[in-house]
Structure 1
Amino acid sequence: MIEIEEIKINYPGADAWQMGDSPELASELADLIKKGIKTASCGSFASFQQVESAPKIGSYNIILDGQNVPVCVTRLVSMRLVRFCDVTEAFARKEGEGDLSLEYWQKEHKRFFTREGHFSEDMELIAEEFELVEIV
């Protein structure tokens, strides 16, 4: 099994992290990224502001599965601020989850942000798009 530090040799400054809020979801999302289905993600702007080293366009990320095992490397290609109620069908499809519909995206993200403790229809999100660089 390849170690995070070995990957960072080729991608200096890369952050390693899981997506989602459970090991099961982290593994599911990492697999969607590895398959090229998931090319976007989002998080609440409020949470984003609390992160010490915010991601920057062009930065590399090592995506971990639910057991903290590296799965792939992505590169952030775009970021924008968007309200929950303004997320488009196209962006929902890029998130790659469920049936790829906006309705599914809204239902699951409302549930996620409610669990996180702050949901509203007009909440601001950081919408990120990324490209798969390498499967490790």
Structure 2
Amino acid sequence: MRTMELGTPGGLRGRLNSLVLAGRKTATTGLLAEYVEETEGLEFVGERMALLDDDGHAIATIEITGVEQTSFIGVPWEHALAEGEGDASLEEWRAGHRRFWRGEGTPVEDDTPVVCIAFRLVRAS
């Protein structure tokens, strides 16, 4: 079973994982360039993945329910809302994600390719 690690280790990953376990986070967005860099294939609908904590331990199993490639500016509000992070608007979601990726050394432009992943919690470990 492949694994999924949300955000970065520390407070962010813990917060995002808590949202998944509470059923509030059912989507995430990744940079297509990261898949290329890591020579990893995209997730696929029906795939089950182990959600990992900061220590690499599986804390839940999720099932992928949707995968869509688009540009950063093309991410729809429905997807941003499903990320469950409390953004009040698409503009707020974009600003937060731009800040995150810029902090990781990967500035995001409107045409940057991203992967929108939808999932459901199958079980907590």
Same fold (TM over 0.5): yes
Compute the displacement of 1:99 (Å). 3.4
CA distance in 2, matches of 1:45, 1:97: 21
- The one-letter code sitting in structure 1 at the alignment partner of 2:123 is E
1:109 aligned partner, one-letter code: H
- Whole-angstrom CA distance in 2 between matches of 1:102 and 1:17: 24
Aligned residue among 96, 112, 123 for 2:112? 123
- Structure 2 counterpart SS, 1:22: coil
Q: 2:52 maps to what in 1?
A: 64
CA distance in 1, matches of 2:88, 2:38: 28
Give TM-score, length-normalised by structure 2: 0.87
Structure with greater helix share of residues: 1
Counterpart of 1:4? none
Contact 2:98–2:107 (CA under 8 A) maintained in structure 1: no
Instruction: Please tell me the residue identity of whatever aligns with 1:28.
Output: R
Distance (Å, rounded) in 2 between the aligned partners of 1:104 and 1:71 = 29
Match of 1:8 in 2: none
Query: 2 CA distance for matches of 1:42 and 1:105?
Result: 11
* Aligned counterpart for 2:102 among listed residues 104, 107, 114: 114
What is the aligned residue count? 123
* 86-95 vs 112-121, which moves further: 112-121
Query: What TM-score, normalized by structure 1, do the two folds share?
Result: 0.81
| Contiguous gaps of at least 5 residues in structure 1 | 1-13
Specify the alignment match of 1:39 in structure 2: 26
Residue ranges of structure 2 left out of the alignment (5+ in a row): none
Change (3 A) 1:129 1:100: farther
Does the 8 A contact of 1:76 with 1:129 survive in 2?
yes
Give the superposition deviation at 1:67.
Answer: 3.5
- Partners in 1 of 2:32 and 2:5 — Cα distance? 18
> Aligned with 2:60: secondary structure?
strand
Residue 73 of structure 1 corresponds to 61
Secondary structure at 2:67's aligned position in 1? strand
Over the matched positions of the two proteins, sequence identity in percent amounts to 27
User: How far did residue 90 of structure 1 move?
Assistant: 1.0
Cα displacement (A) at 1:100: 4.9
